[in-house]
Amino acid sequence: MDYSVKDVLQAQVSPALGCTEPAAVALGAAAAISLLPDKFFDSIELWLDPNVYKNGLAVSIPGAGGLSGLDMAASLGALGGDPDLGLEVLQPLTQDHVAEAQRMIQAGRIKVNLLKDRRGLYVRTMITRGQDRAESIIQGLHDNITDLKLNGKAVSSPLIREDTGSKDNPLDQMDEWLKKLSLTDLLALTDNLDDEDFDFLQQGVDVNLRLAQQGLKYGLGLGVGKTLERLFRQGLIQKDMILSARILTSAAADARMSGVPLPAMSSAGSGNHGLTAVLPIWAVKDYVSGLPQNTVLEAIALSHIVTAYVKAHTGRLSAICGCSVAAGSGATAGITFLLGGDARHIAGSIKNLMEDLAGVICDGAKTGCALKLATAAGTAVQAALFSLHGVNVQDTDGIIGRSSEDTMRNMGTLATEGMIETDRTILEIMVAKQFSDV
């Protein structure tokens, strides 16, 4: 089966409110409790795969006043979430919901279980009220509800996505198709963008820019973007296209990771991927005169497509920072295209970036992600400029392949086979640290 560029964008790019792992937990709870007559519950129990668990431990939840935690995400989803909103499930949240969620947690009503050996994204939620037991399962994708049960019996619901692939990965057919494409094929997909696609891509820019503006105005989260901007204004560093990309992208991550109740336009299942795939390109455009708006948006479309291609190889969640290697690859491809590069230059920029950032680990979602997004954004610009000026990593180097496609496949092998123990060790460190603070 072949897919169009519209199919790819619709499947891979969507708005998400807050970090997508807590959002998935909240969505699972909201979906389960929708089977009960109201939003009151006696208890919630969660079973989570290691990567959802890892990414949901420390990141702030939007609209929750800086509060974090998987138990908080589940409680808020059950009390105030709207499952019809997908990954924007917590949009209706009020402070009353937050206060009640805190009471439920303090009363010991929420239990979180780690499924240490589970592979792939998995969120199972069971909510009890009296004699009733409502359950939901999310698999493969953050918003892919595959099962709903009330008192052990399956329930049909419009919340359950139509089965277009395996439950473990509903996009497996698209992923397998993407894996077979060459970089030239990926580039050719952008030839078929229409006005509807351009409008959608612009919406993504606007959504992500709002987060960046919040980060720059208020110095939220770790304040990486705001600090870089301040250093420039103080004359301590100079603003060029690399710094501009770092400022805009990290400021958006600062806002998102601090729990600002504004959505991000995600890419390949991650809001931070979406920020990295879009904002460096938007920053670079200001340094190139005479660019048609649709050319900029075409570059962003290419970025989303390349990001999806890399994630098809690495999987949705792994021990490798996808913002660095997947969205970073997308961003450098888009920037190279924007600066007039051809397929050969784009291939070189991807290999340059992979060589530079292959070792960046994912140690969960948190405010510190803004530092990694700053690095990814700046490196994406640098890798593009290097390639355009004939600086290209050789295929004799490490995991770099003869082609960009080989390189991206090698990164997938590293993520899915080589980093399994690393992922376990990262989580063990995080869990031990969490319990040592109790």
Per domain, the residue ranges of the chain are 20-154, 181-431
Question: Do 62 and 262 touch, CB atoms closer than 8 A?
Answer: yes
**Is the fold of 20-154 the same as that of 181-431?**
no
- pLDDT tens track for 329-356: 999 999 999 999 999 999 999 999 999 9
DSSP classification of residue 415 = I
Answer yes or no: are the C-beta atoms of 139 and 104 closer than 8 Å: no
pLDDT of residue 119: 85
pLDDT of residue 163: 56
Q: How many Å apart are CA 326 and CA 268, to the nearest integer?
A: 9
Cβ neighbours around 255 below 10 Å, total? 29
User: Which of 146-150, 218-222, 399-403, 426-430 has the lowest average pLDDT?
Assistant: 426-430
Report, as an integer, the average pLDDT of 100-117.
Answer: 95
Task: Please state the rounded mean pLDDT for residues 169-191.
Answer: 92
Q: 43: which 2 tokens?
A: 């208890």
pTM over 0.85: yes
Mean pLDDT estimate for the chain: 94
* pLDDT interval class at 167 (50, 70, 90): low
Which stretches of 297-368 are assigned E, i.e. beta strand? none
What pLDDT score was predicted for residue 66?
87
Q: What is the CATH number of domain 20-154?
A: 3.30.1330
Mean pLDDT, range 418-436, rounded to an integer = 85
- Please give the Cα distance from 159 to 125 (Å, whole number): 15
Residue 215 has a pLDDT of 97
For residue 169, the model assigns a pLDDT of 65
pLDDT top residue among 253 and 116:
253
- Is the pLDDT reported for residue 65 higher than 90? no
Which residues, in sequence order, are bridge partners of residue 332?
none
d(CA 286, CA 296): 10
Token pair for 427? 């989580």
Query: Which range is least confidently modeled, 54-68, 113-127, 156-170, 366-380?
Result: 156-170
pLDDT value of residue 436: 64
3-state helix, strand and coil shares in percent for the chain, rounded to the nearest 5 = 55, 10, 30
pLDDT at 318: 83
Please compute the mean of the pLDDT values over residues 304-310 and round it to a whole number. 98
pLDDT for 172 equals 86
Each residue's pLDDT tens digit, 235-292: 999 999 999 999 999 999 999 999 999 999 999 989 999 999 999 999 999 999 999 9
The angle that helices 327-338 and 369-388 make with each other, rounded to 10 degrees, is 40
Distance of CA 285 to CAs 239, 241, 334, 386, 387, Å? 14, 9, 11, 17, 18
Work out the pLDDT band at 378, boundaries 50, 70, 90: very high
pLDDT at residue 168, rounded to an integer: 58
Q: What is the pLDDT of residues 384-424, one digit of tens each?
A: 999 999 999 999 999 999 999 999 999 999 998 988 889 88
Find, among 85, 116, 100, 92, the residue nearest to 44 by Cα.
Answer: 100
Looking at 122-251, which runs of residues are DSSP E strands?
122-129, 132-139, 145-150, 153-154
Q: What is the pLDDT of residue 315?
A: 86
Three-state DSSP class for 308?
helix
* Residue-level pLDDT at 24: 95
pLDDT at 166 over 70: no
CATH 1.10.4100.10 applies to domain 181-431: yes
Q: What is the mean pLDDT of residues 358-368?
A: 93
pLDDT digits (tens, 9 = 90+) for 20-55: 999 999 999 999 999 999 889 999 999 999 999 998
For 151-161, what is each residue's pLDDT tens digit? 999 999 999 97
